[in-house]
Chains A and B, each alone.
Chain A
Amino acid sequence: MMQVKHLTRRFGGLVAVNGVDLEVEEGSLVGLIGPNGAGKTTCFNMLSGVIAPSEGAITFQGKRVDGKKAYQFTQLGIARTFQNIRLFKSLSVLDNVKIACHFNCGYSMFRSFFHGPVFQRKEDEITEHAMEMLKIFKLDHDAHEISTNLAYGEQRRLEIARAMATRPKMLLLDEPAAGMNPTESAELMDLIRFVREKFATTVVLIEHDMKFVMGLCQQILVLDYGTPIAYGNPAEIQANPKVIEAYLGKDEEG
């Protein structure tokens, strides 16, 4: 589904991501791990078009996408969430999701001045789709609440719901379990599995919580200082001496 070849990003003299190759199969669940500052988020930013790679190529469903803008990535079917939740803070929960439906809204700005019949029909469709998303993520009771009034876990769910409303083929989750307690993150794992099956979405995620990654992902890519050091299934990664040295070795004590 997505092929990444020799993805590299430099910031001035610093090489944040160095020559990442990755092949994401359709329907798979890939984890991206590595110590702090390993370049995971930079990698994600490139995969979602937020920043352009310095070198390398990203191919999505057979098309070269690197060099396109973030909104084009989303319109092609790659949605993402953020490490530090970025909701549209002063808007309602429903409006947050509706904005994600915007590029599929099916009418022009000109029509929106008049609120004619076509507008009304399309707008009803958007509301319906957005409410459906909220229902799936159990947020429909708070549809008209201002999004910052939600509890932390709900805000995380809303961010995923919002991303799913863009009808993505591939979902990038940047530390979805950050700040969650074990119960919440177990629920989140179930939710991610459910989303993947229900929408047939490919999922790539960054996570620090090893239990979370190992329990959920089929394939894992490990980055250290921007360089990929291992790729494989959870068992292989756990047995890989390089990974243990760079990452798990320190983690085992804690």
Chain B
Amino acid sequence: MGDYLKKWAMLVGACLLLFVFDRYAFWALNGFWQNLILLAGINMVAALGLNLTNGYCGQFSLGHAGFMAIGGYATAFFTMMFAWPDWMLTFPHPEFPIVFPISLILGGVLAAAAGLLVGIPSLRLKGDYLAIATLGFGEIVRVFLVNFEYMGAARGQTNIPQYSNFFWVYSIVLISTVVILNLIRSSPGRAIISVREDELAAEVMGVWTVYYKVAAFLLGAFFAGVAGGLLGHLLTILTPEKFNFVLSIEIVVIVVVGGMGSTSGVLLAAVLLTALPELLRFTSGAASIPGLSLLGEPSMRMILYSLTMIFLMIFRPKGLCGNKEMWELWGRKGS
């Protein structure tokens, strides 16, 4: 009992520390690093969600960008167009008003509702067929957004307030990590994993697999929606093109590189794979060294990114961490 309260008090404390850091230190970094750190955090949230669906439940989804799009657009709608009472837009502070977290949650909930919708096909489809059906879902969302005049159609929604800051992004990363690890170390979490391990055996052990598959989709979509909301309020612009299937693939790559079913591995991979292309961009600044300027070429970054993917898969086919957590791997080496 006491232990439980202490843990949650620690989490709140950690969020407060993040807030202090955000106010008094984060601004000192230059814009490039700020952006990189925030993007990494947003990718973490999206990948944590996908890891639940793909990694823990084994339901291979290629439609994560669709959920992110729904969350992103919905959150922007709620912060910009919804008729909130005026005080909510300035309370407790105009830079971080209460409407932002509320809108993020609403965006996540809408994405989760879409996840429910997509989760249902997953009851009939397996493996590659499920992957392609979810990819289809993502593309359908994108095409609808291209035709969605109310929020800018193909031009996208502009002038979104820049509410996403270090505090919000990393508090959400922290809370998501704790909640997901808690879920996974519980009976419903084991039920989700049992679906991945052997669906039939799970069913025969009394696990209502249908429920847990849909739940995994729904929760994964929720986190994707929140990540989408954070992304929109970081970039201040959302276009349908941002959410094409390449984004879904990027998130899948984070999960696979990190290790399907390893929360810490996925967090690490999100940092590495977000930073890698951006840091390569950085090298273009050091163009005085012959040959190095080539590294700054935009396509060169993607080439190195893709080679990293290929070599990682060849030499660490189960990702960085397999389905273990980092501390479990270290623990084993130590003993």
Contact = CB atoms under 8 A, between A and B. Distances in A.
Chains A, B in direct contact (C-beta < 8 Å): yes
Interface of A: 48, 50, 69-71, 74-75, 79-80, 82, 86-91, 95, 98-103, 105, 107-109, 111-117, 119-120, 122-123, 126, 162-163, 166
Given A115-B7, A115-B186, A117-B1, A82 B201 contact: yes
Nearest to B209: A71
8 closest A-B pairs by CB: A112-B186, A105-B187, A74-B206, A88-B197, A103-B206, A86-B201, A109-B188, A70-B203
B215 A95 contact: no
The residue among A112, A114, A122 with the most chain B CB atoms within 10 A of its own CB is A112
Contact of A112 (B183, B207, B323): B183
A74 B183 CA distance: 24
Contacts of A48: 204
A101 B204 contact: no
> Dominant SS at the A interface?
helix
Contacts of A69: 203, 208
B243 to A, nearest CB: 28
Contacts of A126: 187
A112 B208 CA distance: 17
A71 B203 contact: yes
Nearest to B324: A90
B194 interface: yes
B179 interface: yes
A71 B206 contact: yes
A100 B187 CA distance: 10
A16 to B, nearest CB: 18
A92 B38 CA distance: 37
Contacts of A123: 186-187
Nearest to A121: B1
Contact of B205 (A74, A111, A113): A74
B4 interface: yes
Contacts of B182: 112-115
B192 to A, nearest CB: 9
B198 interface: yes
Nearest to B192: A109
B136 interface: no
B8 interface: yes
Nearest to B184: A112
B191 interface: yes
Contacts of B204: 48, 50, 70-71, 74, 79-80, 82
A50 B205 CA distance: 11
B322 to A, nearest CB: 9
B14 interface: no
Given A112-B186, A115-B185, A166-B205, 11 more contacts: A70-B203, A70-B204, A71-B207, A74-B203, A90-B197, A99-B190, A102-B205, A102-B207, A107-B187, A112-B188, A114-B4
> For this complex, into which size category does the number of interface residues on chain B fall?
20 to 34
Nearest to B198: A86
Contacts of A105: 187-188
B179 A99 contact: no
Contacts of B188: 102, 105, 108-109, 112
B202 interface: yes
Interface of B: 1, 4, 7-8, 179, 182-183, 185-191, 193-194, 197-198, 200-209, 215, 323
B317 to A, nearest CB: 14
Contact of A102 (B7, B183, B185, B191): B191
A73 to B, nearest CB: 8
A109 B207 contact: no
A6 to B, nearest CB: 24
B193 A88 contact: yes
B206 A166 contact: yes
A150 to B, nearest CB: 15
A230 B331 CA distance: 58
23 contacts: A48-B204, A50-B203, A70-B204, A74-B205, A79-B205, A79-B206, A86-B200, A88-B193, A91-B190, A91-B193, A95-B193, A99-B190, A99-B191, A102-B191, A102-B194, A105-B187, A107-B187, A112-B188, A114-B4, A120-B1, A126-B187, A162-B205, A166-B206
Contacts of B202: 88, 99
B105 to A, nearest CB: 14
Given A88-B201, A89-B197, A114-B182, A98 B208 contact: no
B313 to A, nearest CB: 19
A88 B187 contact: no
A70 to B, nearest CB: 4
Contact of A88 (B4, B7, B198): B198
B4 A120 contact: yes
Given A88-B198, A102-B207, A113 B215 contact: no
B187 A102 contact: yes
A99 B194 contact: yes
Nearest to A86: B201
B202 to A, nearest CB: 7
A69 B311 CA distance: 44
Given A109-B188, A112-B187, A117 B206 contact: no
